[in-house]
Structure 1
Amino acid sequence: MDVIEWLLDSDPAIRWQVMRDLTDAPEEQVEAERARVASEGWGARLLALQRPDGQWDGGVPTFTSTAAANWWQSLPPERRGTLFPEWTSTTWSLMLLQAFGLDPSSAGARHAVRLVREHCRWEHDGEPFFAGEVEPCINGRTVAIGAYFGEDVEPIVARLLGEQMSDGGWNCEQENGSTRGSFHTTIDVLEGLLEYERATGGSPDVTAARLRGQEYLLERRMLRRLSTGEVIDQDRKTNRPAAWTQFSYPTYWHYDVLRGLDYLRAAGATPDERVAEAIDLVESKRDADGRWPLENPHPGQLHFAIDEGEGRPSRWNSLRAKRVLKWYEHTPRSVSSRSGSASTG
């Protein structure tokens, strides 16, 4: 079985994207396959797990401090389960439905989003879900989800534009004194702004901010420190060794090189020499069968498995790697790319 056949031998959530991005399937066949996400496989299974109060998981998160656990217990019921627990809360469940390509106009999507809009509140201060909260990493993800599912997230976008840092990035630790952007936060915001542009047409200010953020990644060649040129080996957010050269899925809020490249592809960016090293890294991970493994799965709870497990060939990583390489190989190069467009990919 060749790699395309192997990818197609999967859930509708993967099949329709393979058909769109890696084959010459007619658009009507792609859309017919995508429509199955709402009624079959992972998409239907995840929709069925939503509770009547709009949340997905009412379980108790595992916190590393007593203070955090006590804070959680003090919250009213409507503020439990929006961001925590990772990765079965409402935020990450909606993120998965978006990643699966659930049709926003489907009855299942409209019902699920209505319940979230009417009932779900952020743990931070009880803000309505689609109003966002205070951290740009969370708000970037909320913009991506809200824009995709047709919700009004313009006030969050305006806030994010005002929080962009002088280096072009964003950082959830800015309120605590950080003066530099973060790869993690920046990719969350970039994906959100791109989805907002697709949904609304955007504005010159939104596009300019997104392209500045895109340059933040490119100036660092997707994985290096700007100050020294060294590969980033320590993650300041987690205080652990950086794992950005390992390809996880789902990525949740975490940055890695494949996620960054897939954003550039989706944004219609023109590849230049600054992505060459990252592309070489992607190519180096392809096995003899033309597949890519799952690496570094992020610890946390799962609704159900959507891949074969760490170290095994991953359909999600293989799909994303193959479409990134196709983008790189088929898009004319530029010496330095400082433009991009909100494509539909």
Structure 2
Amino acid sequence: MPISPTVRDWLLDSDPALRWQVERDLLGAPPARWQATRARVTEEGYGARLLAEQDPDGQWAGGSFFPAGFFDSDEPNQPGQPWIATTWVLRDLREWGADAAALSDTAARLDANSRWDYDDLPYWGGEVDVCINAYTLATGAWLGADVAALAVWFPEHQLADGGWNCEAEEGDSVRSSFHSTLNALRGLLQYEQLTADTSLRDARRRGEEYLLTRRLLYRASTGERVGPFVDRFVYPNRHRYSALVALDYFREAALHDGIAPDPRLADAVEVVRAARQPDGRWLQTTPLAGRTWFDVDVPEGEPSKWLTLFASRVLVWWDAASPRKS
């Protein structure tokens, strides 16, 4: 599914954090070209703006997962949560392709100064929430922190059905969650990509199978759609699962592993294809509530460059391996 020249030009007129991915994944640009664009992520636009907000102690907004003073304010009673603290900023910078060298000694400063809101645990050791630990594992690998002890946490906390659930640590669930499992998988894959450590690959494959047996969409018990979130595509998705985010993960994992797309992804692919507008773009749904440093995508109902990038590269990858019959 090639993109039209109009959509191509629209996507290229974007922040370097997005543009370099368009050049690499949709246009097949030479590495020198997209790498040069990627190098600008920390120098201008979204990436540079976030780096400028960093505190002297290495954190953002004075906190690890929540900003300083959050629990003493009225924010916990408001919809959503703030997305301005350290973990969320580092997740964005990492996924935008920021060069870790531009963050200098951030890993060491966080090791010295940042603690989790849960039990005052040290930052690079993680805590009890699988999604938080997944973000921390990937970010630690990216910044060169020692996260080896955190890596072994994932197979130790994998549930019997092959996935993970943020509620499992409190004994509230023995069944895996689509959201938690996908966040864990994304962290495990990034860790493997960044470190070349394959010791977590078996755990990753088990987690992938949890989602694949459900075709990314359906409950194992009833065969019904797992929830309305599966076709509510939004950027930034933060922790939110959708068929699009899941497919973007499986695309990256397949390319990393050198394997063809799994046929069980077909239903989810058609969900993404059905959301494509006549002009070749995808629309933003309801952005997640909560305070941000600044907007990085459009309001609800408008064409989203981020979602169009993700959806387009998923369909290009899928259709190249599984050509549709005319």
TM-score by length of 2: 0.88
Alignment partner for residue 26 of structure 2, among 18, 22, 44?
22
- The CA deviation at 1:148 is 2.1
Task: Name 1:9's counterpart in structure 2.
Answer: 13
Q: Displacement of 1:70 after TM fit? A: 10
Which residue of structure 2 aligns with residue 343 of structure 1?
Answer: none
Distance, in Å, in 2 between the alignment partners of 1:296 and 1:273 is 30
The answer for the alignment partner of 2:39 in structure 1 is 35
Aligned-pair CA distance for 1:58: 4.4
Query: Is 1:251 equivalent to 2:237 in the alignment?
Result: yes
Contact 1:165 1:179 in 2 (8 A): yes
Structure 2 equivalent of residue 116 of structure 1: 110
**Distance in 2 between residues matched to 1:71 and 1:93, nearest whole Å:** 16
Superposed, 1:38-187 pairs within 5 Å as: 38-58=42-62, 72-73=71-72, 86-105=82-101, 108-177=102-171, 178-187=173-182
Q: 1:200 maps to which residue?
A: 195
Alpha-carbon displacement from aligned partner over 1:155-194 (angstroms, at most 9, x marks no partner): 1110111011111000111123311111111111101110
CA contact (8 A) 1:55 1:89 kept: yes
Alpha-carbon distance in structure 2 between the residues aligned to 1:299 and 1:54: 26
Q: Which runs of 5+ in 2 are unaligned?
A: 74-79
Contact 2:272 2:311 (C-alpha < 8 Å) held by counterparts: yes
Q: Deviations over 1:117-145 (max 9, x none)?
A: 33211111222211111111211111121
* Between 194-203 and 221-230, the greater mean CA deviation after superposition: 194-203
Q: Residue type of the partner of 2:252? A: A
* Number of residue pairs matched by the alignment: 306
SS at match of 1:122: coil
Aligned: 1:265 with 2:251:
yes
Alpha-carbon offset, residue 29 of structure 1: 1.1
Q: Write the deviation string for residues 82-101 of structure 1: whole angstroms up to 9, x where unpaired.
A: xx952111111111101211
Percent identity over the alignment is 46
Q: 2:147, 2:62 → 1: CA distance?
A: 26
Distance apart, 1:71 and its partner CA: 9.3
Query: Any conservation in 1 of the 2:128–2:169 contact (CA below 8 Å)?
Result: no
- Match of 1:2, SS? helix
TM-score, structure 1 normalization: 0.83
Deviation at 1:19, TM superposition (A): 0.7
Deviations 1:211-248 (CA, angstroms, capped at 9, x unpaired)? 11001111111111011111113xxxxxxxx4221101
Q: In structure 1, how many angstroms separate the alpha carbons of the residues matched to 2:241 and 2:19? A: 25
Are the equivalent residues in 2 in contact too, given 1:293–1:310 (CA < 8 A)?
Answer: yes
Q: 2:184 aligns with which of 185, 189, 202?
A: 189
Report the equivalent of 2:77. Answer: none
Inter-partner Cα distance in structure 2 for 1:180 and 1:223: 16
Matches of 2:70 and 2:29, distance apart in 1? 51
- Partner Cα distance (1:160, 1:207) in 2: 11
Q: Does 1:209 align with 2:203?
A: yes
